[in-house]
Structures are given as structure tokens and as C-alpha cells.
Amino acid sequence: MDVHAPRPPGDSGLVVRDLAVSYGPVLALRGVSLDVPRGSVVAVLGGNGAGKSTLLRAVSGTLRFHRGGITAGEVTFGGKRLSGATTSAVVAGGVVQVPEGRRIFARMTVEENLRAGALGAPGRRSAAKAKERVLTLFPVLAERAGQRAGLLSGGEQQMLAIGRALMARPRMLLLDEPTLGLAPMMASRIADTVREINAGGTTVLLVEQNAAMALSLASHAYVLEVGEVVLSGPAAELATSDEVRRRYLGIEDAPEAAAGARPVLARWST
Ligand code: ATP
């Protein structure tokens, strides 16, 4: 299925148009437009301070907790306006964010964290089903159900954070740097899980500094620089574009690379 093909109104996924966001005098985003069609994985890449987290906050209705606000443009999901909505209204609308830094409840057990994720979700009846799905995706969370979440490894905490978000049965998941600080093996496990979640029908907006990982997961990607979209297109095309390879994938223009040697992928940082 071509998820980027035109869809009837109301069947659209996330649509961001001409978005501007400020934190007091600090203009963090300007003129940002992007589309995340239903059923797709779309990535937003960019270095420190590019505005990636700000974009997710604008979608999830959490800007006000950071003393920020939308000053222009709008965000809609499935044709319904999210900009201006409260965080709980956004969750009720099916859009749930997994925040950067995991922010699990460290003193609560794994089980209690998952239960907290189901609070505020529409209709509690299928909570058991959601939990079953989460524990199938992350069997380790079943093994550690009674343990304090703070005792989990970094990768397991990331799994718990994603699992907690899935307990709200989102139609769309917002992921903020899910592989940050993880060892490559764990990062690739998280990437596999994101693929599996998407294959189950959940639309994903993925914010990442790890451009190589994000481009391998996404169908389309956008590059943010100092609050503006400077590049966008199909992920496969961006991954092969010289500019993206050099600037965002850290691939050197060495003669052996040009001659077809295996490129070295590096984390992009500014
Ligand atoms: P990182 O990868 O470092 O998290 P980012 O791409 O997510 O970076 P943002 O955190 O969205 O970038 O920051 C975008 C801009 O907004 C930066 O200039 C940052 O300093 C500023 N900013 C972010 N949060 C606030 C805040 N609460 N108050 C004031 N300025 C902020």
C-alpha cells in the first residue's frame, strides 16, 4: 500500500501546516509543514537545538508545560485540530508521545507504570488486550512486572516507556529519540519493535539524531535546522543524497568510499 497516496478527507494522518512555536522571546520553529500519512513511519532528523522536541510538544499539546506556545499555523490529526487542544484531549484523539529521556516512574513497579499508561485512555475495557500486546512485544516486562522500574537497564526502561504509551492504545505514536544512549544491539532491538508496532497499524512520527537508524525505519523524512525544514523526501532518497550522507550520516567523501567501500555511519551531531 502506498501510504503517501492521496486519501479522502478525514482519513488523513498528521498534518502540520506553517507551524511557528515560541518560548517567550525564543522562536523555536517557523513555517514548519509536514505530513505523516496514516500507517506510515515518518522521521524528523536534526542536531541539538534544531527544534525536534519542540515539534513533538506542539503535536502532543505539552508546550505549555515548557512555557512555550504555538504562534502561527496548525496541527491536525484525522482532520481534527490538535493545536490548542489539551494534552488529555490529544491522547483521547489517539496521539500519544513517548518522551525523550524515558521518564518512567522509577519508584513504581513495571506493572504500575503500565497501568498508569492506560489511565485517561478512552474506554478501559480493552486495557487487558493492550497489556497483552505490550507483553508480547516486550516479554521482559512480564518477567520484571513486580520490580521497581528504576532498576531496569536503559534499554528496558525505553521498552517500558514505549509499552506505557501503547497502553493508551494510540493510533499514532510520537517517539522522541528512542535509541538515545543505548548500545547498538539494544538500539536495533528498539528499531525492530518500532517496525512491529507500525506493522500492527500504528502510525509513527520518529524524532532522531541517529539519522542512519531513522532513515532505515521511515518511508519519508524531514530535516530540521534551526527551527526550519531544510530538506525532505523519501527516506531511501535522502539516505543516498550526497548532502545528507555527508552532513547527516557522517559518511566521508574518501576515495575508497566513492569506490564502493562499506561506508561508516556515525551519529550526527552539530
Ligand atoms: P535536542 O536534540 O538537543 O533535544 P531539539 O532538536 O529537540 O534538540 P528543541 O529542544 O526543540 O531542539 O529546542 C529548539 C530550540 O528551542 C532551542 O534553541 C532551544 O534552546 C529552545 N528551547 C527548547 N525548550 C525551551 C524552553 N523550555 N524555554 C526556552 N527555550 C527553549
Cell of 227: 527551527
Biggest alpha carbon–alpha carbon distance for the chain: 60
Q: Which residues line ligand 1 (CB under 6 A)?
A: 23, 26, 28, 46, 48-54, 66-68, 209
Q: What is the pLDDT of residues 185-241, one digit of tens each?
A: 889 999 999 999 999 999 999 998 888 889 999 999 999 999 999 999 999 998 887
Asked if residue 107 belongs to a domain, the reply is: no
Measured from the CA of 51, which atom of ligand 1 is nearest? 11
Q: Which of 27, 30, 48, 224 to mutate to test the pocket of ligand 1 (most atoms within 8 A of CB)?
A: 48
Query: How far away, in angstroms, is 158 Cα from ligand 1 center?
Result: 21
| Cβ-based burial of 14 (10 A; exposed 0-12, middle 13-18, buried ≥19) | buried
Asked if residue 242 belongs to a domain, the reply is: yes
Asked if residue 62 belongs to a domain, the reply is: yes
Query: How far away, in angstroms, is 54 Cα from ligand 1 center?
Result: 6
CATH number at residue 240: 3.40.50.300
How many domains is the chain partitioned into structurally? Answer: 1
Asked if residue 266 belongs to a domain, the reply is: yes
Asked if residue 189 belongs to a domain, the reply is: no
Asked if residue 231 belongs to a domain, the reply is: yes
Tell the residue number behind the cell numbers 527551527, with chain if given.
227
Residue type, 231: L
Provide the edge-to-edge strand list for the sheet that holds 80-81.
26-36, 14-23, 69-77, 80-81
Asked if residue 132 belongs to a domain, the reply is: no
Confidence of residue 3 (pLDDT cuts 50, 70, 90): low
Three-state DSSP state, 123: coil
User: Following CA atoms 129, 36, 213, 142 in sequence, which dihedral angle do they give, to the nearest 10 degrees?
Assistant: -10
Residue 92's alpha-carbon distances to 42, 115, 129, 183, 266, in angstroms, are 22, 16, 18, 34, 38
The per-residue pLDDT for 245 is 75
Asked if residue 238 belongs to a domain, the reply is: yes
Q: Could you give the CA distance from residue 189 to residue 175 in angstroms, rounded to a whole number?
A: 15
Greater confidence (147 vs 101) lies with 147
Q: Could you give the CA distance from residue 240 to residue 263 in angstroms, rounded to a whole number?
A: 11
The per-residue pLDDT for 47 is 83
Confidence of residue 170 (pLDDT cuts 50, 70, 90): very high
Confidence of residue 2 (pLDDT cuts 50, 70, 90): low
- Beta-bridge partner residues of 32: 19
Where in the sequence is the domain holding 54, given as residue range(s)?
A: 1-94+174-179+219-270
Provide the edge-to-edge strand list for the sheet that holds 228-234.
95-98, 172-176, 203-208, 41-45, 220-225, 228-234
Measured from the CA of 26, which atom of ligand 1 is nearest? 30
Greater confidence (213 vs 35) lies with 35
